[in-house]
Amino acid sequence: MCRLSAITSSDYISPMENILALETMKEGHDGSGLGLMLKDLGGPFKDMKKYPILSAICSNRGLETLDEFMKSQGFREKMTWAPSIKQIAGIERREHYIAKVYDYPESYKDADMRVKEDLLMNTRLAIRKIGEPDESIFCFSFYPDVLTLKEVGDPLAVGEFFGLDNSDVKAKIVLAQGRQNTNYAIYLYACHPFFIQGYGTMTNGENTAFVPIREFLMGRGNPGYMGYNSDSEVFTHILHYSNRQLGYPLHYYKDVITPLKDNELAKRSDGAAMKLLKKSLRPLCIDGPNCVIGFTPDGSVFMVQDAKKLRPGVVGGTAGKKFGLMSEVCGLDSAVPDRDKSTDIFPMKYDMVIIAPQAREVKVWNQLHV
C-alpha cells in the first residue's frame, strides 16, 4: 500500500510538511519512491503564474534535445529552476532535475486557454515520445503554476536529496505520495501523482478494473490518454474526462467511478440523467481498493474512496486556513496539528470530500443526497 499526503492551504507551505507527514505514516510505504506535485506556486515561481512550467528529469543529452525541441516549437524560455541536489546514500542522482518556465509561442499568445492546454499537453507528449526510448528525458507536467518532482527512494531522503528542507519553493497545494512498490517495476512514469491539463491525482491501492478502463479511455480519441505505466493513472484521466471533456461538475466524478444502484438513483433529483450516464460510462466503474486524492485546475482538492474495499483516508483542518488529506490520522496530526479533531472527516463509500480553492471551505458530497 502507498501512503498519500496532500495539503491545501491559504498560505504558501513547504512540501517538506507533506514529506514529514509521510514519515509518520512510514509503516505504510516501503520508501520505494516519492512523487511531489505542487500547484499554486510561491517562491521563485510566484510571479510566473501565467507561464507554463515544464517539469522533467533529463540526461545531459536529453537536456540538449529538450532545449532544441522547445526552441523549434517556438517556446521561449523565461526561467530555469533546479533543486539544489544533496548527495544522499542510496539515491542514484540523475543528471538534471529541472523546471523550466516558458512563454507561449507567438502564435498562441492570445489563444483561448483550452487551446493553450492542448498545445501544452501535445508538447509534453512529444517530449515524452522523444525521451522515453533511451530514458534521456522524463517529462511529468507542462502547465502553468504546476511543478512535479519524482525520484526513487525513501520520501524523507528524497526530500533532503532535492534540498527541499532549505528550499524557497513553496505552494498552496501539495500532493505527495510515498510509494509502496507492488505490481510494477520502479519506473518514473509509474510514480504518482499523475497529471493532465491542470488535473493531478494520486491513488492508494490497486485498480482491479484497470484494463477495461484503460481501453475505454484510449478509445476517447484524446492523445493524452496514454502511458498507463501505473494502473492508477486512469484515475487522473477519468477525472479529466468527466470534468473537463464532458463538463460534469466535480462531484460527479464519484458517480462515474462508483455508480449507485438503480434503486438508489431513482431517489435522486438527477436520477434520470444518472441512469443514462451510468450505462454510458459503465467501463469507468472501479471496484477498488482505492483512495484517490487530487486537484482540479481551479484549485479544488478532493478525496474519494471506492465503494467497497476502501483504503485509509482522512481529511481534517480549518476552513480558510489549511486542510490535510492524508492516508492516516498520524499524517494529519503532523501536517495540521492545531485543528479541531472532532471535525475530521473519514469519507465512506458514498462520500466525496471537496475542499474549495484557498482552503476556503470543506464540503462532503454524499451520493445519496444529491
Sheet holding 291-295, edge to edge: 194-196, 199-204, 291-295, 301-305, 351-355, 362-366
Q: Which listed residue (79, 210, 318, 360) binds other proteins by CB under 8 A?
A: 210
Amino acid in position 239: L
Nearer to other proteins, 84 or 182 (CB): 182
Q: Which listed residue (11, 77, 215, 298) binds other proteins by CB under 8 A?
A: 215
In sequence order, the 6+-apart residues with CB closer than 8 A to the CB of 192 are 2, 35, 175, 177, 179, 201, 202, 203, 230, 232
The Cα–Cα gap between 103 and 75 comes to: 6
- Tell the smallest beta-carbon distance from residue 365 to other proteins (Å): 9
Stretch near other proteins under the rule CB under 8 A, chosen from 184-192, 207-215, 292-300, 330-338: 207-215
Nearer to other proteins, 17 or 206 (CB): 206
Stretch near other proteins under the rule CB under 8 A, chosen from 59-67, 77-85, 88-96, 259-267: 259-267
Is residue 26 a contact point for other proteins (CB under 8 A)? no
Is residue 263 a contact point for other proteins (CB under 8 A)? no
Q: What is the DSSP string of 35-76?
A: EEEEEEE-GGGTT-TTSEEEEEEE-HHHHHHHHHHHHHTT-E
The Cα–Cα gap between 76 and 106 comes to: 9
Is residue 183 a contact point for other proteins (CB under 8 A)? yes
Question: How many residues bind to other proteins according to rule CB under 8 A?
Answer: 49
Is residue 302 a contact point for other proteins (CB under 8 A)? no
- Tell the smallest beta-carbon distance from residue 326 to other proteins (Å): 20
Residue among 98, 207, 206 nearest 142 (CA): 98
Q: Which listed residue (70, 101, 190, 281) binds other proteins by CB under 8 A?
A: 281
The Cα–Cα gap between 143 and 339 comes to: 33
Indicate the length of the chain as a whole number.
Answer: 370
Nearer to other proteins, 213 or 293 (CB): 213
Residue with grid cell 498520524, as numbered in its chain: 330
DSSP state of 284: G
Q: Which listed residue (64, 270, 298, 361) binds other proteins by CB under 8 A?
A: 270
Is residue 276 a contact point for other proteins (CB under 8 A)? yes
In sequence order, the 6+-apart residues with CB closer than 8 A to the CB of 198 are 117, 143, 146, 244, 296, 297
Find the binding residues for other proteins in span 307-366 (CB under 8 A): 307-309
Binding site for other proteins (CB under 8 A): 1, 182-183, 205-206, 208-212, 215-216, 218-221, 241, 245-249, 251-252, 258-259, 261-262, 269-270, 272-274, 276-277, 279-283, 285-289, 307-309, 370
